[in-house]
Structure 1
């Protein structure tokens, strides 16, 4: 074919692929040059409002959980992360509030998950979530089943009304998948609420959990500090400054 190299080892497909790659690289560098030119001219190279910053915590009340559901979730997170002399419980750290805000948002609605069938039972975790229910729906179904289970086996008492020792027994049974929860299994629900509780304990306080940055203080995490240049040469020394949230902290000034 006219225009093709004489080398028989180069196929038409290889040539076309190479040409496409070269065009892509050229376009990328051209775009980069355009951004640089706009920056040098003083023009902002992006449009305002294009990013998706975290939405600050909406204070007071529950956005998704009903009052009864919220009491159950608070009772669960209080036992998953009990308070001691090292730090607050999951409840006092705001983990239930964190979960509530997550369920009321994009995560709870599975907006970024593929939610079409088929769903495979006992699939490898590599396949991701295998449920037709969104996380918010999973909580609603499982909390209802948990309430029914506890009332049937603990003298008509819901989970939040059980003594701490009995709550631990119920959670241990859920971890093994022993209670038969209708609609969403007890073991998947235990894994979900445990994961969300840990996230709430260590996430930025802007999302409702990790109140007073208690989780960060517990592990010595500095938080969202914007500049570490003053500490580059002292990496072997203890970091003594308190953590900083995306919202800052009381009395915070740069470098303190």
Structure 2
């Protein structure tokens, strides 16, 4: 056996024995080992969910909120399957997200250099979502008023709104001083999140999207139905806020 191998084995034995000793030591007192009984946690000991309270804007101004409500209602229009994006609360969801850590990217690494990334890497920019929404909505309002005789986006007809959104998506409509396509992608992604996320976050009112697609929601266990393809889930969906012992806390 070479000296290098003996050294590696000796080091491994030392680390193993040390690790075991560290695990055992806290449980040993006065010459005997304590037996741990019971679970190391208590029900409801963690943070309970705090639902978004609807009503009023937290981030958007009044005009911005009206414009976003009009946008989400064209991205998800009311039809026979579900309510529209506005009624589902998508604009409220976006507003609360922009007012929190998503809006200022406080949970993301935001140091330079910033380079154009691949589509799978997402947005690579020092401009945080809250700033992007604010400047883009202002640019959209300026474009609309210059193009449609002083009318803002919410005042346009449905066909005009659709044409404008399609132009932004295709990169054919150029907003002043902002990337219109990047704004469209951001608002579309945020709208879809608001429509399908748990109602806890302000969107998906009455779990309308979950009922539409047959999603069970935050149910504890639905394994018996996973393999039943093309069969509707028989039970109504459950939100994270569905537990009664959470709703009584202040």
| TM-score, length of structure 2 as denominator length | 0.81
- Asked if 2 retains the 8 angstrom alpha-carbon contact of 1:82 and 1:90, the reply is yes
- Per-residue deviation, 1:88: 0.5
- Per-residue deviation, 1:84: 0.5
Q: 1:206 aligns with which of 200, 205, 211?
A: 200
- Per-residue deviation, 1:23: 7.5
SS at match of 1:149: helix
State how far apart, in whole Å, the 2-side matches of 1:93 and 1:221 are: 16
Number of matched pairs: 237
- Per-residue deviation, 1:151: 0.8
Whether 1:132 aligns to 2:126 is: yes
- Asked if 1 retains the 8 angstrom alpha-carbon contact of 2:49 and 2:240, the reply is no
Whether 1:177 aligns to 2:178 is: no
Q: 2:97 aligns with which of 86, 98, 102?
A: 102
1:152-231 aligned within 5 A: 152-228=146-222, 231=224
Q: Which residue of 2 aligns with 1:56?
A: 51
State how far apart, in whole Å, the 2-side matches of 1:97 and 1:200 are: 8
Stretches of structure 1 that go unaligned for 5 or more consecutive residues are 1-5, 251-256
Stretches of structure 2 that go unaligned for 5 or more consecutive residues are 28-32, 245-250
Q: Which residue of 2 aligns with 1:253?
A: none
Q: Which residue of 2 aligns with 1:254?
A: none
Q: Which residue of 2 aligns with 1:80?
A: 75
- Per-residue deviation, 1:24: 9.5
Q: Which residue of 2 aligns with 1:70?
A: 65
- Per-residue deviation, 1:128: 3.4
SS at match of 1:70: helix
Q: Which residue of 2 aligns with 1:113?
A: 108
List 4+ stretches of structure 1 deviating above 3 A: 8-12, 14-27, 37-40, 42-46, 51-54, 231-238
Q: Which residue of 2 aligns with 1:3?
A: none
**Larger deviation, residues 64-73 vs 220-229:** 220-229
Superposition CA RMSD, Å: 3.5
Q: Which residue of 2 aligns with 1:30?
A: 23
- Asked if 2 retains the 8 angstrom alpha-carbon contact of 1:145 and 1:182, the reply is yes
| TM-score, length of structure 1 as denominator length | 0.79
